[in-house]
Amino acid sequence: MNEMLINSAFFGVVITLVCYEIGAWVKRKTNFVLANPLLIAVLLIVAFLLVFQVDYEAYENGAKYIQYFLTPATVSLAIPLYRRLELLKKYPAAIFVGIGAGVLTAMVSIFLMSLIFGLTHTQYVTLLPKSITTAIALGMSEKQGGIIGLTVVSVSITGILGNVAAESICKLFRIQEPIAKGLAIGTSAHALGTAKAMELGEVEGAMSSLSIVVAGIMTVVAIQVFAGLI
């Protein structure tokens, strides 16, 4: 491809947005559970870079500007929570215990899998923050000496799987309570899961938004304990 085009400031942004819009179009047309816009966008971007032999660094130089919107986008998730604040006041114990159970499950599962597969300390701490939002996960991974690039991948995969499978899992285990759905999805699959929770309902979205914040704080504390176990 044209070198000037590839090296332009917003080349990566354009490619990313185009691929995501294609993914969103496929989702609208098919409504297939695996037709996740983000998953489709990732696959299309990888294919594009391989076919046109574009270096990842060249793509990332432009695409990095999208990251600037990550924090405000995460903060904006507080809006549906504010609209349903009465639920937090009504069921505080159940909500915080539920989120805590989810965080503990994530920590223990990574610890056990790391033992089973013989992961090193670096690999272990890289995966520990996989279930929280990227904005927090990156900082925790870097602080603990993890591999930031792999942390991003693990967080993305966790979110995509949560977005794709959340509704089916709730149906499989007959989870019908909106609050329970939102807490489970937000705690396990952060912002991408919350996008699915908002599709399920306003209560689910609000509880999932709350879970992102609380789970993030709890995970920061829990990692201080679990990081030293391997």
Over residues 48-94, the pLDDT tens digits come to 989 988 888 888 887 878 877 877 776 776 777 677 778 778 888 98
d(CA 71, CA 197): 19
CA separation for the pair 209, 185 (Å, rounded): 10
pTM of the model: 0.81
Whether 202 and 182 have beta carbons less than 8 Å apart is answered as no
Cα–Cα distance list, 156 to 41, 74, 79, 153, 165 (Å): 12, 15, 23, 5, 14
| pLDDT attached to residue 119 | 94
Confidence of residue 11 (pLDDT cuts 50, 70, 90): confident
* Alpha-carbon gap, residue 213 to 158, rounded angstroms: 17
The whole-number average pLDDT for the span 5-16 is 73
How many CA atoms within 13 Å lie on the side-chain side of 93? 0
